[in-house]
């Protein structure tokens, strides 16, 4: 990738970096004593450790740096940004949970938040903004225990579609899982029924692609030199600004389409009750303000962005792990057959009676975390931890993978074993769900809904299909993981056939 830099921008970047380094040097002293920064790799004067950052599985590199420097927290610099990685459960709980008041902001993305106009998005908005509390209250109400029961019929209906799709075309099992996750969340958010080659799914996926490009770390100079946001779009070298403004218009248009569709269906009296429709109906029958409508749009859009990829990643890893561990698969199927009956397609109300299935979900989330690195936080004031100074505005990243594979927490961590979470296990290993869905004020408000949809899909797949490796005499495939905001085991060849029930 080539970034356009004219001489003025280059001078500004160097001067900003110089100011940052000098101010960092002098600000290390406080109350007459020098407080050291956490240890970590140093890198070059200009780019910091950018050249040392791996293209894949960075969580493993961060964990190895933690061992190299014998520290639960490591600090390094990329250009003029400081990044701290937390590699232990103690560091994560102390800073992100116990000190959530100062650790719950997001790193500022000038390209995405300002140029593209997405600063009010659920995952970006400041936790001190009153709207952030409104978002979380609405989502917790709709996706909590009571809210999830409202959507049980949708979850059950789409399970039937998932099973039918896998039965008719098992080779496309990944596509069926993706369709299931999208169909559930689209009907919950908008009351919309997904079709083949669906236009709404294409809209949501396009918005996701644009957002991913706009938020790509290290791609946009404006994220390192915020004053560049004032550069007129017609200036030479300001192609990034023109691109950002085009994306801003596109994203606004895309977020309006499903919202306006729900409103039009409600006006016709032909709609399925949904998250959006319920919020659009005020109890006092008064029209909504523009601010209230925007809140509904941001929340509904966040449902798709937050639930879709997480559920898909967990279920892909689950299916692949069942093919590698037939003893786990058979035990789960025996539980289903004994408790629910061999011919029964599980329902959301059934899953509370399936303790071994719950143990499998916990172990899937531990062994193959859907987010090996938690979404980044930002500390809003200088802080100290274990004798180290964490500078204001440092980006703070929880290394979830390192915690989930810490042998002191989870003995033999690279072995897939749901038994570690069963009642017969006496080691009291931590519930991985506390690390899988975010931290502090950024913890996922839809955890119960996400777990329910995953458990129902897992139960439905196991009740109907036998999953195995196609070549029993061949060596098992090497387990590798995708790299991204979400992660899952890279698919390999497996066999999925209908179960022969006796």
439 CB-near residues (< 8 Å, 6+ apart): 92, 96, 97, 100, 374, 377, 398
Closest CA to 304 of 454, 197, 210, 186: 186
Closest CA to 321 of 477, 455, 432: 477
The answer to whether 116 is annotated as binding is no
Distance of CA 7 to the CA centre of its chain: 38
57 CB-near residues (< 8 Å, 6+ apart): 372, 481, 483
Q: Determine the Cα–Cα distance for residues 404 and 368; give it in Å rounded to an integer.
A: 9
For residue 443, the tally of other CB atoms under 10 A from its CB is 16
Q: Six-digit token pair at 30?
A: 């406080």
Q: Please list the residues that pair with 348 across neighbouring strands.
A: none
CB-count burial class (<10 Å; 0-12, 13-18, 19+) for 384: exposed
DSSP assignment of 6-54: -HHHHHHHHHHHHHHHHHHHHTTEETTEEPPPPP----BTTTBTGGGS-
Q: Please list the residues that pair with 138 across neighbouring strands.
A: none
Q: Six-digit token pair at 460?
A: 């439905």
110 CB-near residues (< 8 Å, 6+ apart): 220, 222, 223, 226, 228, 229
Q: Give how far Cα 85 sits from Cα of 64, 255, 373, Å.
A: 11, 33, 9
Q: What is the largest CA-CA distance in the chain?
A: 78
Q: Which residues are annotated as a binding site?
A: 444
Q: Which residues are annotated as a binding site for heme?
A: 444
């Amino acid at each position: 990738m080539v970034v356009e830099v004219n001489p003025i921008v280059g001078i500004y970047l160097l001067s900003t970096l110089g100011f940052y380094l000098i101010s960092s040097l002098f600000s290390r002293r406080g109350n007459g004593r020098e407080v050291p920064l956490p240890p970590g790799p140093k890198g070059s004067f200009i780019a910091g450790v950018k050249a040392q950052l791996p293209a894949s599985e960075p969580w493993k590199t961060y964990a190895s740096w933690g061992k190299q420097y014998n520290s639960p927290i490591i600090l390094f610099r990329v250009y003029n940004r400081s990044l701290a990685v937390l590699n232990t459960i103690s560091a994560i709980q102390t800073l992100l949970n116990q000190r959530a008041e100062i650790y719950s902001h997001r790193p500022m993305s000038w390209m995405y938040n300002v140029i593209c106009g997405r600063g009010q998005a659920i995952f970006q908005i400041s936790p001190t903004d009153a709207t952030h509390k409104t978002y979380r209250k609405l989502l917790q109400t709709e996706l909590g225990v009571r809210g999830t029961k409202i959507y049980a019929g949708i979850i059950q209906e789409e399970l039937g579609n998932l099973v039918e799709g896998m039965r008719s075309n098992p080779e496309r099992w990944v596509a069926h899982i993706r369709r299931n996750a999208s169909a559930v969340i689209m009907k919950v958010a908008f009351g919309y029924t997904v079709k083949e080659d669906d236009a709404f799914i294409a809209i949501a996926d396009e918005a996701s692609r644009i957002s991913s490009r706009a938020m790509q770390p290290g791609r946009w100079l404006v994220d390192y030199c915020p004053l560049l946001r004032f550069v007129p779009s017609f200036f030479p070298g300001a192609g990034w600004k023109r691109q950002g403004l085009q994306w801003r218009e596109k994203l606004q248009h895309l977020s309006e389409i499903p919202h306006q569709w729900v409103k039009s269906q409600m006006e016709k009296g032909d709609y399925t009750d949904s998250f959006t429709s319920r919020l659009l109906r005020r109890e006092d029958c008064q029209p909504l303000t523009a601010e209230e409508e925007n809140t509904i749009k941001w929340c509904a859009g966040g449902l798709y962005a937050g639930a879709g990829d997480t559920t898909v990643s967990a279920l892909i890893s689950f299916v692949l792990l069942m093919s590698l561990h037939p003893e786990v698969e058979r035990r789960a199927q025996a539980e289903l057959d004994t408790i629910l009956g061999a011919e029964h397609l599980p329902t959301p109300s059934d899953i509370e009676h399936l303790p071994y299935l719950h143990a499998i979900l916990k172990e899937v989330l531990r062994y193959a975390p859907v987010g090996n690195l938690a979404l980044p936080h930002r500390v809003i004031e200088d802080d100290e931890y274990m004798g180290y100074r964490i500078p204001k505005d440092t980006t703070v990243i929880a290394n979830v993978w390192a915690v989930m594979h810490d042998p002191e927490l989870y003995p033999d961590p690279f072995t897939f074993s749901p038994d570690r979470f069963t009642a017969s296990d006496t080691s009291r290993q931590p519930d991985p769900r506390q690390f899988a869905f975010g931290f502090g004020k950024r913890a996922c408000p839809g955890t119960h809904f996400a777990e329910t949809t995953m458990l129902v899909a897992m139960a439905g797949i196991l009740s109907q299909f036998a999953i195995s490796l196609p070549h029993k005499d061949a060596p098992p495939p090497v387990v590798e993981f995708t790299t991204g905001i979400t992660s899952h085991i890279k698919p390999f060849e497996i066999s999925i056939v209908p179960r022969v029930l006796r």
